[in-house]
Structure 1
Amino acid sequence: MKSVFKTDKGKVRFHNEDSGGVFPHSRRLLAVVADGMGGHRAGDVASQMAIKFIQEKWEDVEGLQEQNDDGKWLNDVILAANKHLFNHSNQNEECRGMGTTIVAAICQKDVFVIGHVGDSRIYFLPAEGDFLQVTEDHTLVNEFVKSGQLSKEDAELHPQKHVIMRALGTEQDIEVDTKTIKWARGAKILLCSDGLSNKLSDEELNSILSSGQTLDEQASLMIEKANAAGGDDNITVTIIENTDGDDS
C-alpha cells in the first residue's frame, strides 16, 4: 500500500488542532485523523492524545487474525480512547470540556475497516465504481437531513452546520460507527478533517484522486485548494492507495 499524510493550520487559525498519522504494523496499515473541537478548550491536546493513545495500542497488537478482529479492535480502542480523554479532562481543569472527532481505517489487501465519531470523513474511490463518502457525519444538520427537514444542499449552508452530536472525550460513553468495505488494487481512500470537506466538493475530491498525480501531489493540491477557498479551518488529509489487493 502507498500512503500520504499532510496537515496544515489553514489561513485563519493561529495553531493546528488537527492530528493524525499513518502507522504500518502486522501486514496492515492504520490511518487516523482527529480534529480537536473548535470552541472547546484544549482541542489540540484532545486530538494529540487520541492519536498517541491509538497509535500506542496499535503498536502493541500481536497480530489480528481475522477481518472481524480488525472491526472489534477498532471499536474497542476508540471507546478506550474516549474514556482516556474524558478522565483526563475531568482531572485537569485546563482541559475541562475538551473533545475531538476521530476517523480511522485499518487497511489490508482485500478489505479496509473503518471506525469514526464526529464529522471528520472517509471517502472511497473504488478501482471500478463511483466515488462516495463512507462515513456519516454525527452532526445536528445531518440529523435534519435524515429526518427530511433539510436538503443536503441546504445543510451545507446551515448556521448550525458545525454542531457535533458525538465526539471523543466529551461524554463517558459514546457509540462508534464501524464497517468493513472490500477494495481492490488501484482503489483509494481519503481520510480528512472538515477543513477539507467543507471547502472542496465531492466532484473536486474525486477529480484530484482520479488524476495521474502522485499521492503527495494530490494531498498538497487538496490543501492548496482548501486554503484558496478561504482556509478558515485546519486542514488534514490522508490518502491510501491499494497497490497489492486482489484485482480479479
Structure 2
Amino acid sequence: MHYFLTNRGKVRPHNEDNGGVFQNKSHQYLSVVADGMGGHKAGDVASRLVVEHLQEEWRRSEKFHDKLSAGNWLKSAIETANTTVYQKAQENETCYGMGTTVVAVIYGEDFISVAHIGDSRCYLLTSGVLSQVTEDHSLVNELVRSGQISKEDAEVHPRKNVITKALGTEKYIQPDIITKPWQPENKLLLCSDGLSNKIDNSELLSFLTDDKPLEDKAKTLVEVANERGGEDNITLVLSDYCAEKAGDSSC
C-alpha cells in the first residue's frame, strides 16, 4: 500500500529531506515527509530529528479507531518534535537557525488524519479527482489568499520558496490538522517541494492513475523532476488503498 523514496536531486551537495512509512504495535501506518530548511545550517539534522521522533512515538502507540484521537496524536507528537529540534538548535551553534517542514498522515480504516507545517504537501486522489489536502505555509500562498497575486503569478514568483512557518524555528508551534475520508481505490501522495515545484496537478493525476506499481510510479516522478532541473532534493510517499487482499502484487 505504501512506497517511500528520497533523492538528492542534481544540484544540492547533500540531501536535507527525510521521511518514511512506519508501523505501530497495531500494524497501522504512519507516513512522513520532512524537508530541512534550505539555506539554513543543519537542515538535514532538523528533518532527521523530526522523523526519528515521530517514528519512535508511533512505534509505541496503540490503535487509533477514530479521526479525533489520530489528529490529537499527530498534534502532540509534532509539538514535542518541535521542542526537540528547537532545543537542539539552541544548544548547538552549528545547528542554530535550523528548521524543517513536515507533513504526516495516519491511515485509519475509513479516514486519514493529516498534519503539516510548511510547504511539503499532501495530495488525495478520489474518484478520479486530485485535490491538494494541505495549504502551503508560504509567502506566495499568503499573497494569493489576500488577492495580491494570482495562482499563475505564484508559480513564477521570485520568492516562491520562502515559507512562513517551519518546525524547530520557534519554541511553540501548532500544525494544521486535516481529516479526509479514506476509501478503497483512493490514492495519496506526500511530497517535498522538490517534486511539487516541477510537476503540476494535471501531470500528477496522470502519473497516479496509471497502472504501474507504486515503486515504478515513484521512480518516474523523481526522474521527471530531475530531468526538469533537479535543483532541490526530492522526496515522496505514495499510498494506495487497495481493495484486493493483502499481499496482492498490485498493492
Same fold (TM over 0.5): yes
Tell me which residue corresponds to 1:144.
143
Q: How many residue pairs are counted as aligned between the two chains?
A: 243
Tell me which residue corresponds to 2:131.
132
Task: Give the partner amino acid of 1:35.
Answer: D
Deviations 1:129-185 (A, max 9, x none): 410110000001100000000100100110111111000000011121001100211
TM-score, normalising length: structure 2: 0.95
Q: Report the Cα distance in structure 1 between the residues aligned to 2:64 and 2:170, rounded to whole angstroms.
A: 29
SS at match of 1:131: strand
4+ long deviations beyond 2 Å: 62-67
Task: Give the partner amino acid of 1:118.
Answer: G
Deviations 1:20-66 (A, max 9, x none): 00012224210000000001100000000110011000111133343
Deviations 1:77-118 (A, max 9, x none): 111101110011001111000000000000122111000000
Tell me which residue corresponds to 1:76.
76
Tell me which residue corresponds to 2:66.
66
The verdict on how the C-alpha distance between 1:184 and 1:65 changes in structure 2, with shifts beyond 3 A counting, is: closer
Tell me which residue corresponds to 1:47.
47
Q: Report the Cα distance in structure 2 between the residues aligned to 1:235 and 1:201, rounded to whole angstroms.
A: 15
1:161 matched to 2:160: yes
CA positional deviation for 1:237:
1.1
Aligned-pair identity (%): 50
| Aligned residues of 1:223 and 1:235 also touching (Cα < 8 A) | yes
TM-score, normalising length: structure 1: 0.96
Task: Give the partner amino acid of 1:194.
Answer: D
| Aligned residues of 1:109 and 1:244 also touching (Cα < 8 A) | no
Q: Report the Cα distance in structure 1 between the residues aligned to 2:66 and 2:121, rounded to whole angstroms.
A: 25
Task: Give the partner amino acid of 1:79.
Answer: E
The verdict on how the C-alpha distance between 1:111 and 1:65 changes in structure 2, with shifts beyond 3 A counting, is: closer
Q: Report the Cα distance in structure 2 between the residues aligned to 1:228 and 1:111, rounded to whole angstroms.
A: 35
Segments of structure 2 that go 5 or more residues without pairing to the other structure are: 245-251
Tell me which residue corresponds to 2:18.
19
Tell me which residue corresponds to 2:236.
237
Q: Report the Cα distance in structure 2 between the residues aligned to 1:120 and 1:173, rounded to whole angstroms.
A: 20
Tell me which residue corresponds to 2:195.
196
Segments of structure 1 that go 5 or more residues without pairing to the other structure are: none
